[in-house]
Each structure stands twice: as C-alpha cells, then as structure tokens.
Chain A
Amino acid sequence: MIPPILEMKHITKEFPGVKALDDVSFQVKTGEIHCLVGENGAGKSTLMKVLSGVYPHGDYVGEIIYEGQAQKFRHIADSEKAGIAIIYQELALVPELTVYENIFLGHEIANGFTIDWNETIKQADEMLQKVKLNVNPEAKIKELGVGQQQLVEIAKALSQDVKLLILDEPTSALNEDDVENLFSLLRDLKKQGVTCVMITHKLKEVIEMSDSVTILRDGQAVITLDAHNGEVNENALIKHMVGREIENIYPKRDKKASTETLLEVKNWNAYDPKLGRKILRDINFRLAKGEIIGLSGLMGSGRTELALSLFGNPDGYEIEGELLVNNETVEFGHPEGAIASGIAYVTEDRKRNGLILIQDVKQNNTLANLKGISNRGVVDENAEIKVASEYVVSLNIKTPSIEQTVVNLSGGNQQKVSLAKWLFVKPDILILDEPTRGIDVGAKFEIYTIMNRLVEQGMGIIMISSELPEVLGMSDRVYVVSEGEITGELAIEDATQESIMKLATVS
C-alpha cells in the first residue's frame, strides 16, 4: 500500500481567546481527491494555513508528516518548495500583469540576472494547455473571467511541480460551466498523480468529487468518511457538520402576514461605471411589515449590489427606477438619507465595511446614530454607555466590557455588535447581508432568534443569503437573483433547495 502523502497529527492552534484547532489529525492518501468540509469557522482554512507555513512551525502544537518526513515549514515558500500549492478563495494574481508573468511570478525563468521571456511564454503556453485554458498568455489577468483566473492559478501551481494541490472554496465564484471545467481538470490531474485537497461546504460537490471526506466542526476533526465504502452521502455529511438535527437551528415564529407595504422597488436598473456594465436589470419586489423576505442567489449575482443601490448608493451606480418607502417615492444621495428614512443595512463583510475594528464596542454601537446620544453636536458619554450596555444585554454580546476593542471579539460577537449598531438607528426596514457568515452555530441560532423578535415587533427584514437552508428556514417569501435579475419569487411553501438553485442558475 502506498503511504499517505500527508499526515497532520494532533494539531492545536490557538488565537487569543479562541481555540481554532483542537487536536486535529488529518490524513490524505496519495493520489486521491480529499474534501475538507465544515461550516464557516470550523477551522478548515486555519488547518490549511498551518500546513502551508502561513502559521510557522512553533506557532502551533502538533506534527506534520509530508511524503514520509516530518516538516517544519516556516514560510509559504518552504511548503511551495516541497510541492504544496494552495489556491485561495481570493485569487492571488496581479491583475495588471500578463498571464505568463503571473504564472512564473516568484520563480521566474532567468539566465543569471535577466529573465528569459521567450522561454517563459513557451512554458506558460504548455501549462495553459495542461489546464485546457485557451487564452493568449500575453493577455492581462484583469481581462480574464474568474473561472479562467482560477485555471491560471492552477497552471501556476503546476509550473512548480505541485504534488499536493489545495483548493479553498474553488467554486464559490464560478458559474456551472466553469465548475464543470474545473472538476474535469481535477480528475485529469488525479490521473497524473496530483493529490488534491478541496475545501468546500457545497455538499453536492463533495459527493460528486471526493474519494474521502474529513469533516471539521468547531475546530475538531469529527470523522473521515471513505467514498468507496459508500459512506459519503448528504445526510451523513450534514449530520456530522452540524452535529445536531438541522431543524433545531431555525427557531419557530408565528407568521402573521401583513398587507402593509414597507418598501417597494419598481423597474430598478443600475449601471456600474467602474465595471462599465449593467449590474441590475428590471428589479421589482416588495417588503411588507412583519415579514422576512429571503434574497437568494449565488455569490456575485448582484444581491449585495441591489442592497447597496437601495441604501443610498455609496458606490455611485447610475440608477433608474422607483423606490418607495412607506408608499412614498424616495431618492437617496448618500446612506445618510436611507438611514433617515428608516432603512438599515448590515453588511456581509463586517471587517471590511461594517465595524471600526480599532474602536470599542460602545463606539461602534452608536456610530450610525450619534444624533441619538448627542446634544448640539456634543456626545453624551453617559447616554452612550447606557445604550451600549442595553444592547450587550439584549443581544447577549459576550464581551468583557463595552470598552473592549471589537477586533478582540469572536466573529459571532462582532456580528452582534454590527447588528446592535443598526438596531440603534431604530429602522423599519432591516437589510441583512449574509447575517450568519463566519459565525458558529450557537451564535447563528441567537441571530435567528433576534430576527424573529424584530419582525414580531413589526420590522421588515430583507435577508440576503447564500445558505439555502437558512433561506428556507427563515424567510416568509423568497426572491431569487441571478445575474442582476430577479428570476423568480417563491412562496415559502413552494421553495426547496432545488427550486431555488434552478432559478439561481438561470442565465
């Protein structure tokens, strides 16, 4: 029997306040496709960062045995040298450089001190053929689609004699054709003896592609399943991923349909001058008092752009169409106006554009409504403390103090601070963009409970989500967005994962 290409033994990695990996052991057989699955925050990416040397040897506890030898990678360059390549969700290519320059970036073909461009282009062409990518190697990366860029990344890995290829959520930004392409390439590579670890949370892909599956949950390796023994199926995967019956996650609420319309969007179109193309086409939908509508669709389908275009249009799209709030036509020039009209938008990326990470809980809590705690422009710090203390209690934010800097909080608690900030503006309409991304199951349940409480008080919630169970579990109605258009509206009774997926992939 061939020995495993990789064994990670008893890996423990701690961050301040969190144990990201807790005694994880992980084994990959030579020549297989091994899926690493788990919910957001289960520790998948951390494990791969330990492997690749992003977290250097000594920063973690445990042992890495690769090709039969104990390894002490101190830097990505070390693991690359050993033939391990990681392709991240956010592609690491330089957009302004050409395809061939990118493929050989960092290991240029040189005669002494000067680069041999002819040889570079020739070899780049060979690599591109290997990944079946039919583009001009002299094209700039920014001219390529996301799927093509990913193939360039794989070509780059192949040019370095990769033996173990790790793909982090490779399909999250791809359309169906690109996914099919990628998978057939992975199968080819497998035949050529390249071992592949694929991090994903799309169960279909796991079932389709994997030889074995390791499931991580809350920083621990729960189980490794062998596809050849028929152990890999949806039920088993879900069971091990969540560790509980799936129904429990979504708290029940009394659904009271209201006829009072809070927000209505008519013939809404948006053009992004930066991208130079239309991003939203003829969007029509409405939100009633006391309901949650799910805005489902794949990443990049235009859901976030839709939310931002409604919320004061901070990215400067050119907009046509009509927006009615409480049956009155409104136009916003800045998020300030949207907030004043009772709309709040909780971003999908709290670290990038949600929170001020270097400020404390109370300052973040009051940022969007400083008027509410100030008198003639002077902030009343006592009022601020009162407000923040109340939200810490009512949202159950776990923090040592309201003077704690939010960068030190866990993802779930950061999300709650972000939510608290927007609840303090006392909105009628709450737009939640991926409200439970990157937070643990317990915190998810709490967020769902809070959402239920809010709609029972009469708020209307627009929930943007890529997690289908979440959409199905929480919404009263579902709109599906695909390529900047609403491709369907489903009553919750008619909505299934399949029906939503079908609409989401219409093009």
Chain B
Amino acid sequence: MSFFKDVQKVLKQNIREYGMFIALFVIMAIFTITTKGIFISSRNISNLLNQTGYIAVLGVGMTLVIVIRHIDLSVGFLAGFLGAVAAIAMEFWGLPVYMVIPLAMAFGVLAGAITGFLVAQLGIPAFVATLAGWLIYRGALLVVTEGTGTIIISSDAFNALGNGYIPDFPAMGFLPEMHKLTLLLGIIAIVFFVMSELNSRRRKQAYNFEVLPMNIFVLKLVLTSLLIGGIAWTLAGYNGLSWTVVIVLLVVGIYHFITTQTVLGRHIYAIGGNPEAAELSGISVKKITYTVFCSMGMLSGLSGMLFASRLQSATTTAGTLFELDAIAAAFVGGVSAAGGVGKVTGALIGALVMMSLTSGMNLMGIGIAYQYMVRGAVLAAAVIFDVATRNQGK
C-alpha cells in the first residue's frame, strides 16, 4: 500500500519532469492500439526517429535560446539555406563531405553571430531581428536554388546521414534477424545509466540529501532500462541504429553535459533566471547571448544537412516551418517562456511527441487539416500543464 503512496508522492513532486514522458507514453500507447500495432513496429519507430532528427536538433538549440528569454524564428530557412549551400558545395564546388559538414556548420555559427550582434549589441528584440533573418534566408535559399531548382545530392556518404544505419558485426548465426551492434549498444547504455544513477544516489546520500525511496528508485531503474532496452530491441529488429539517431544522441548528450555540468551552462541558466543579477555577478550577458545564438546557428546548419540528406537533395522549400516545429518541441519539452527553465533532453522528448502525433495520425489516415488541429491542441495543453504546475513541488 505504502508503495503506491510513495509512487503517487514522487509523481506529484516531479510531475513537471515526468509529465512529458507520461504524455509520450500515452500517445504511443494510443496509436499502437488504434493502428493495431503498426505504430510500434520496428520499421515505423525507426522511421519516426529519423524524421524527428532535424527537428530535435533545432529544438535543442531553441531550448537554450528560449531559456535566455529570446526566440529565433530564422532557423527554419537558415537550415534550408545551409542545406542548399552544403549541396552546392558538394555538387558544384566538388568539396568532399568531411569538409562540407564543418563548413555548413561554420556558416551557421556566422549567421548566429549576426543575430547575436543585432540582439545583444544593438538591443533589437530577437523576435524582430530573427523575423528579418527568416525573410532574408528564405530569399537566400531561393537565390541559390534559382538556376537549378532542386539540387540532387549524389554523395552516398552524405546521404547516409539521413538514411543510413550503423554497420553490424559480421553474421555469426547468432540472432540472425537482429542488428547485434544496436543490441550491444543498448545493453551498454543500460549499464551506463544504472551505474551513473547508483553513483549519484550514493553521493546524495553522503550529503544527507533527500533521495527516492529504495523501491521507487528500483522501479525507476527498471522502467528506464526497459525503455532503453525496448527501443534498442525494436530498432535492432529493423536496420539497427541510424546515423541520424546517433547524431541526435550525440548532440543531446553534449548539450546535456554543457547545460548541467559546466560553467557556461550555469551562466546560461543564470541569465535566463535573472539577467540583471547575472550581469552584476560578473557574467557577461552579451557574450552568453552571442554564444547561444551561435550555437543555434550551428545546429541549424546541422539540421539543414540532416534534412537535405534525408531527401537526398536540396529543395527550394526546405526548412519551411521548421522553426515553429522546433519552438513547439521546446515548449512541449518543458521550457518556460519566462526564461531560466528548460532541459535539452526535454526538447528531444518534445520533438518525439510532435513527430509521434504526425506519424500516428498518418498511419490512421487522418487528414492533414485535423492533424494540425490536434498538434496545436497538444502544444496548448503542454503549456497549460507547464503554467499549472509551475509552482508545485519544490
């Protein structure tokens, strides 16, 4: 009996943190039932994750922009434009892939620096400055694709970013239908997760901090391990882990580390929480604003390449509405419009929630008109939930 009470209490206290996981789970469960299991099939999940990639990457950057109380509307067409630049660099300039990828990301950083200059140096509201960017990059995308229209990308290596999968061990007759490296990585991830959780729990106990009750802690470990294992198993049943997923996990991992473990991360959240106090504490709000917009630009470049690679071409409309999807992902992922609150892992979940809705409704054959409405309602519900739970817990 007390176990359920404990669960209830923990859920109540951490409802903000667990809310979106629960939402994602519920959405996936509903679609699994309504599509008679097609939704949860290996093939669909693999597809879903690959489609989420370019939005998740933008969502991560957008989370930080919103944390420091700004917004970036330019990222959609910037991504489209940089995707086209990457295609041109490969097809017309003949640059190799390993140079094109950092080049496009460097252009992204430059674009971010320009936004940063407008916002941090000149004090132009980010909404206006990046709306100008939205128009400019849209125009730029049309200019560079003017002569050619859609640019077909012929590089297999580049196209693998959005369509390829990590290699597997040579077949040894063991689990012939499964992608064994994916399974192995899944197991490593579980071990790593359990170890780090145990470590952090031990450390907290050493300082007499409040920790989860033992039974709930075990439940959390089991559930999360099952989740990771389940995903690995599902993906292993199709083609294994895709490069897109690897890239997204890398980006989320790096940004998660930066935001939670580094001085830079602390400065970002301090500015979001109270810019005047941060400035007086010796933190340069200007520098951090530049940094965050540059990171956003860099991720826009990455996102644009993921998208171009997925389509194996750069199109004249690439990037349309990406910025709004990214903002939606960030908000569904729990970022607060008031600033100072929001996790990059949340943006990943947020992007998955939005993409699951699209994928699930597509499978159910629901028309695009209703899809927009449902997604809008979910976004509104996420923000209502955020506002309603803002002052709960600690």
Contact = CB atoms under 8 A, between A and B. Distances in A.
A351 B277 CA distance: 9
A382 B264 CA distance: 18
A353 B274 CA distance: 7
A172 interface: no
B340 A358 contact: yes
Q: Which bracket fits the contact residues of B?
A: 20 to 34
B266 interface: yes
A311 to B, nearest CB: 8
B209 interface: yes
Given A358-B341, A379-B261, A363 B280 contact: no
Interface in A374-389: 374, 377-379, 381-382, 385, 389
Which of B203, B210, B266, B267 has the most chain A CB atoms closer than 10 A to its own CB? B266
Interface stretch (A103-111, A193-201, A400-408): A400-408
B282 interface: yes
B96 to A, nearest CB: 32
B203 A382 contact: yes
Given A401-B210, A403-B394, A404-B394, A335 B273 contact: no
Interface in A338-357: 338-340, 345, 347, 352-357
Interface string B60-71: 000000000000
Given A355-B274, A359-B273, A367-B270, A379 B279 contact: no
B263 interface: yes
B263 A353 contact: no
Interface string A311-334: 110100000000000000000001
Give the secondary structure class of B's interface. Answer: helix
B278 interface: yes
Interface in B242-288: 261-267, 269-270, 273-274, 276-284
Which of B203, B265, B274, B341 has the most chain A CB atoms closer than 10 A to its own CB? B274
Interface string B354-383: 000000000000000000000000000000
A379 B262 contact: yes
B207 interface: yes
Contacts of B203: 382
A14 to B, nearest CB: 16
Nearest to B338: A358
A356 B203 CA distance: 25
Interface in B60-104: none
Nearest to A368: B281
Contacts of B281: 335, 339, 367-368, 421
Contacts of A354: 277, 280
Contacts of B284: 334, 336
Given A359-B270, A382-B203, A401 B209 contact: yes
A370 to B, nearest CB: 5
B324 to A, nearest CB: 27
A371 interface: yes
Contacts of B394: 403-405, 408
B278 A367 contact: yes
B92 to A, nearest CB: 40
Contacts, number: 87
Contacts of A404: 394
Given A357-B273, A358-B341, A359-B269, A377 B280 contact: no
Contacts of B283: 336, 367
Nearest to B341: A358
Contacts of A378: 261-263
Given A385-B207, A401-B209, A355 B277 contact: yes
Nearest to A375: B263
A345 B274 contact: no
Contacts of B340: 356, 358-359
A371 B264 CA distance: 11
Nearest to A350: B277
Given A335-B282, A345-B280, A353-B274, A377 B210 contact: no
A247 to B, nearest CB: 35
A13 to B, nearest CB: 18
Interface in A170-220: none
A360 to B, nearest CB: 8
A377 B259 CA distance: 11
Nearest to B206: A382
A32 B197 CA distance: 67
B274 A357 contact: yes
Given A334-B284, A358-B340, A353 B261 contact: no
B270 A377 contact: no
B273 A336 contact: no
A333 B283 CA distance: 12
A347 B262 CA distance: 26
Nearest to A346: B280
Contact of A367 (B209, B266, B276, B341): B266
Contacts of A374: 262-263
A353 B270 contact: no
Contacts of B282: 312, 334-336, 338-340, 368
Contacts of A347: 277, 280
Interface in A388-426: 389, 401, 403-405, 408, 421
Which of B207, B264, B284 has the most chain A CB atoms closer than 10 A to its own CB? B207
Given A359-B270, A404-B394, A370 B280 contact: no
* 10 shortest interchain CB distances as A-B pairs: A353-B276, A356-B273, A336-B282, A368-B281, A339-B282, A370-B263, A356-B274, A367-B281, A335-B282, A353-B277
15 contacts: A334-B282, A336-B284, A339-B281, A340-B282, A345-B280, A353-B277, A356-B269, A377-B262, A378-B262, A378-B263, A379-B263, A379-B266, A389-B207, A403-B209, A421-B281
Given A353-B274, A357-B274, 12 more contacts: A312-B282, A314-B279, A347-B280, A353-B276, A353-B280, A356-B277, A359-B340, A367-B283, A377-B264, A379-B261, A385-B207, A408-B394
